[in-house]
Structure 1
Amino acid sequence: MIQVENLNKSFGKLEVLKGVSFVVNRPGVFAILGHNGSGKTTLLKIILGMVMPNSGELTVNDTAIKKSWEYRKDIAYLPQIARFPDNLTVNELINMILDIRNQKAREKELIARFGLERFLDKKLSDLSGGTRQKVNIVLAFMFNADICILDEPTAGLDPVSLLELKQLIEEEKQKGKIILITTHIMSLVEELSQEIIFLLDGKIHFQGSIDELNKKTNETDLEHAIAAMLKT
């Protein structure tokens, strides 16, 4: 469960989050949507403990995140841009994360699933953007975390890998996990999401199903409904 109450975050004079409150207390895929600069990534980083809010309360699985870090072992994170030392090979990076987390993992299954066997001895600097993203997917999903946070997970993926990722997300959902996802690909949201949390200028302007959003905006599809919300 994720519970956010009156969350505020500023960077200098820039207010990024303004009294954000919501609860996610059931399994499923929850899409956090909004235009660039709406506060989506900042919100995810606060949940991860990477950014501290100016005020407000946040609990993850009934654990208040303030002055706590152990809750993060139950979270898988796929960042929008993952930065690792370019001189490491794929195999060295995966083994490093395995050593750090020291948890049961299924890296071999995912390596095979995304066709990374022939890249294991290659340095990260020699990989294409799409191959790097597949490595990041392996790192994010190789541990059995209760909560998955995916920030623009489809970046650079080829059609085959995109299908595999969607199937993987569906499988994790069926295991009873909470999956938070940000993306600009509305077809992905329509296909996978049970609920939308829509941020606009640092505030939540809508939380509910796609059907509820379509009715609220008098639109028939998600893409036009989101556009209508952005114009309000």
Structure 2
Amino acid sequence: MVKVKNLHKKFGKIEVLKGINIELKKGQVVAILGPNGSGKTTLIKSILGLVIPTSGEIYIKGESATHSWDYRKYIGYMPQTAVFPENLTLKELINMLVDIRKEGYNPNIKESFIQGFKLHQYMDKKLKTLSGGTKQKVSALITFMFDPELYFLDEPTVGLDPISSSFLKDKIREQVERERLVVLTSHIMSEVEEIADYIIFLLEGVVYVQGSVKEIIENSGEKNLERAIAKLMERGYGS
């Protein structure tokens, strides 16, 4: 579903991505991991079209995304920190987005998220009055309610209470059964181990290692993903 070939990105003299080659297939949850400054955000924003690569190719569903924007209709993006028009109510925001996007809108999915996150009580409240955790729920709601084929979720459970976090993780795993592709980043390794199928670990702008969660844990000789990733980082920095 997503193919990245020899992707490079420079910001001035700083080379952030150094020839990334990855292929992401539908029907799985892929976690893109790595320390701060490893290139995770730049890679994801390049695929989303928010950053223009210096060189290389990106294909979405077999079509080049380098000079096209039409592919964005297949994508749902949940940023780590969403910014909403503060003077709109939640109901007004939802109606506005449905009017703008239309394609893919699924009222049943919308209602399931409103119920699962208990958002009914906030529908007539202005977005500027909502807590950070509630805004995170709103961000998840508007990402999923258009039923995209490809999800990019940046730290999706940050700020969520345990019940809401469990609900969202269940919804993420449901997408695998529906042959969707979910790409996420997270600093919570127990969460990644719970919901991800495949890991791409970046270090200083290159793919340092990739494989299934099980493979990475077994190859590290450690007992869980958190310790396996810590060992990868130690090896990568020559410690």
TM-score normalized by the length of structure 1: 0.97
Aligned residue identity for 1:105: N
Q: 1:110 aligns with which of 109, 113, 132?
A: 113
Greater than 6 Å deviation, 4+ residue runs? none
In 2, distance between residues paired with 1:154 and 1:14? 31
1:207 corresponds in structure 2 to: 210
**Alignment gaps of 5+ in structure 2:** none
Aligned residue identity for 1:205: Y
In 2, distance between residues paired with 1:146 and 1:203? 27
2:225 corresponds in structure 1 to: 222
Q: 1:140 aligns with which of 127, 140, 143?
A: 143
2:31, 2:185 within 8 Å by CA — same for their partners in 1?
Answer: yes
Q: 1:189 aligns with which of 182, 189, 192?
A: 192
Aligned residue identity for 2:33: L
Q: 2:131 aligns with which of 106, 119, 128?
A: 128
In 2, distance between residues paired with 1:105 and 1:10? 39
TM-score normalized by the length of structure 2: 0.94
2:27, 2:175 within 8 Å by CA — same for their partners in 1?
Answer: no
1:159 corresponds in structure 2 to: 162
Aligned residue identity for 1:37: G
Q: Percent identity at matched positions? A: 49
2:2 is equivalent to residue 2 of structure 1:
yes
Residues 42-191 of structure 1 correspond to what in structure 2 (within 5 A)?
42-103=42-103, 104-106=105-107, 107-191=110-194
In 1, distance between residues paired with 2:26 and 2:128? 40
In 2, distance between residues paired with 1:189 and 1:156? 16
**Structure 1 residue 121, shift from structure 2 partner:** 1.0
In 2, distance between residues paired with 1:225 and 1:194? 15
**Structure 1 residue 175, shift from structure 2 partner:** 0.6
1:22 corresponds in structure 2 to: 22
**Structure 1 residue 193, shift from structure 2 partner:** 1.0
In 2, distance between residues paired with 1:186 and 1:17? 23
Matched positions, count: 232
**Alignment gaps of 5+ in structure 1:** none
